[in-house]
Structure 1
Amino acid sequence: MIEVEVEAGDWADTVADVEDLVQRAAIAALGSRVGGVVVLLTDDATVQELNARFRDRDRPTNVLSFPAAAMPDTGGPLSLGDIVLGYGVCAREADAQGKTLASHLTHLVVHGVLHLLGRDHEVDAEAEAMEAEERAVLARLGVADPYTLPHDE
């Protein structure tokens, strides 16, 4: 189950059918894996607070992923974790990279879900594997390769 919470109005005002877009991206990234994901679309101040509190980085960022702690199996849907995206950073990045905000949001949701599934990009080999997986998922969604610039969308 994918739950989308739109806390900052700019998301819904700027991206058509934003909740459906986020759900499609998250489901595509999950593939055949089953699990619950909560996606919070918020503002930069909220992301900055969470980034400072949980990562000791007192600045806004585009996306944060919070994998769920290992919990005993209760027979219900397994929670994979939460993803939080800040509107301002995402909008500025999309503009600077010549992408639509919808395409950038799709990419960042896929990126966040892959983090919840244990993917990372701390070392070059991991980064290359994660980027390849992102490209494959995004291609299935009809989104251009986010690592190739400029974008003509």
Structure 2
Amino acid sequence: MATAATAAALASPSTPAQHTVNVVPPPPAEYSNAEVQAAKSSACAAWEQAALATAAASKERAAVTAPGSIDERFDARATEKRVSMAEISYLRTQIEPAAPETVVTPIEAWIASEIDRLHSVNMRDWPAASAALNRGNGLVDVIAPACGLR
């Protein structure tokens, strides 16, 4: 009898119960005007610090002219890269979810242009490095007014 029941069960398997899970996304976060302003101020201050520090490091590297030793130029380029990556890393920590998109989007694009520039420099792709630098410089004209810096 058990054999017959097993054979019958194997011949016509039962369909397991179907479970439905409804995933409801959380509502978008809402921030007070004070929170938005604080997040904007934090992002803008960090961006200004990053922009000034990377520009200063680039100027110092450019000041090491061709007659300088290879070691001096290498060290200056390495310092420029270290400063840029440290500033970008710090800047990323200062962009809070409450920051307005009018500030976040161009800052993130500026970060991407800086990373592209540094990568192009590493690859010795000078036209690409120049294009990334120009893209970043163009974003300065967007970010500074959005942050109230000009």
Q: TM-score scaled to structure 2, two decimals?
A: 0.28
Structure number with greater Rg is 2
Instruction: Judging by fraction of residues, say which structure has more strand.
Output: 1
Instruction: Judging by fraction of residues, say which structure has more helix.
Output: 2
